[in-house]
Copies of this chain bind each other. A is one copy, B any other.
Amino acid sequence: MKKQKKIAFSYIKTKKKIIIRWIIKTRSYCHHHQNLNYNLRQNYNKSSLQYLVLKPYREELKATIKSRGIKPKLVGFLANEDPAAVKYAESTSKTCEETGVTFELRKCDKEQLEDQIVEANEDDSIHGIMIYYPVFGDRQDQYLQNVVSASKDVEGLCHKYIYNMYHNKRYLDEKQTKKCIIPCTPLAIVKVLEYIGVYNSVLPYGDRLHGRVITIINRSEIVGRPLAALLANDGGKVYSVDINNIQEFHRGTGLKLKKHEVRDTNLKIEEILPFSDVVVTGVPTPSYKVPTDLLRDGVVAINFSAFKNFNDNIKEKASIYVPAVGKVTIAMLERNLLRLYDYHNYQS
């Protein structure tokens, strides 16, 4: 804890050299992607970090699909005219085409959606099903998440997967051959955090966020709360912020606790932001902005809202700023699709 504070102060003092310092600090952790540091230094201002994270996944997916000669098929249901959903659907379509996944977008009336999902559940030619939310924009959407068969749920939003994730159950089977499906957007953010070295790979698996303080402004059942649970299950100390209060998700020290614990706090956002190593936001309004002056220098700032939750001056304050994760989310969607494709064929 003391060490951590020192690092924090050193950030403040060396404001202009934050990125370099961060990279030096995290160099040894990035064994998966040896060229990260080079890329970060060379391209951080030129191309979005999102693409850097995305690239290896996309290439791996493409190579796998090509070499195995398979044709996994994903069906996306669009039952709204929400511009963000439409854009996400277009983006999914484009990415799938690039990687070799057959993608079919089915537009329908929201009242017909449930029947169409049931039909797709029973159609053997379809390996994955996703829905562009919001559909009804209320609890009925959560009902629909469970209408999608678990065996085709590429978004990882049905109760079975959410339950396993909250309970830190990492495998679907006793023999630990089938990894659980994890919701795409939280998973995408985890991958970004791994990529940029927030996960410390010298620590034991399952505790690699030990010592990290992460604030997540959003506690939705689709992203915010799952993400808080995932990061706490990996050893981080997570503050989950919503309009009602701030909760702390933590796992305690060591690997003794099987899953994260949650407790309500009376903390205010101005009390936690200055101590947060990472701030993740997903506030779905154009007006909300994180107060930059409250953030620590060198913070890692990630936004998954369709609106910009950070002011432009975040670029000066943050060591790493990721304005969107949508494309990584789609890569995770395809990754989950491949898993389900294999689980299906493995079972039969």
> Taking beta carbons and an 8 Å cutoff, which residues of A are in contact with B?
111, 114, 138-140, 142-143, 146-147, 159, 162-163, 166, 220-221, 225, 261-264
Contacts and interface: CB of A to CB of B under 8 A. Distances in A.
Chain copies in the assembled complex: 2
Contacts of A140: 221, 225
Chain A contact residues, majority secondary structure: helix
A162, A221, A264 — most chain B CB neighbours (10 Å): A221
B139 A159 contact: no
A166 B138 CA distance: 17
A143, A162, A166 — most chain B CB neighbours (10 Å): A143
A140 B228 CA distance: 14
A344 B114 CA distance: 31
Contacts of A159: 143, 146, 159
A263 B221 CA distance: 27
Contacts of A147: 163
B263 A111 contact: yes
Contact of A142 (B139, B163, B225, B263): B139
A138 B147 CA distance: 20
B111 A143 contact: no
Nearest to A147: B163
8 contacts: A111-B261, A139-B139, A139-B142, A140-B221, A142-B221, A143-B159, A143-B221, A146-B159
Contact of A111 (B220, B225, B262): B262
B262 A139 contact: no
A307 B265 CA distance: 32
A162 B143 contact: yes
Nearest to A264: B111
Contacts of A163: 146-147
A166 B111 CA distance: 13
Nearest to A162: B143
A220 to B, nearest CB: 7
A161 B316 CA distance: 53
A220 B163 CA distance: 23
A303 B142 CA distance: 26
A50 to B, nearest CB: 27
Contacts of A162: 143
Contacts of A142: 139, 142-143, 221
Contacts of A264: 111
Given A142-B143, A142-B221, A143-B162, 15 more contacts: A111-B261, A111-B262, A111-B264, A114-B166, A138-B221, A139-B139, A139-B220, A140-B225, A142-B142, A143-B159, A143-B221, A146-B146, A146-B163, A147-B163, A159-B159
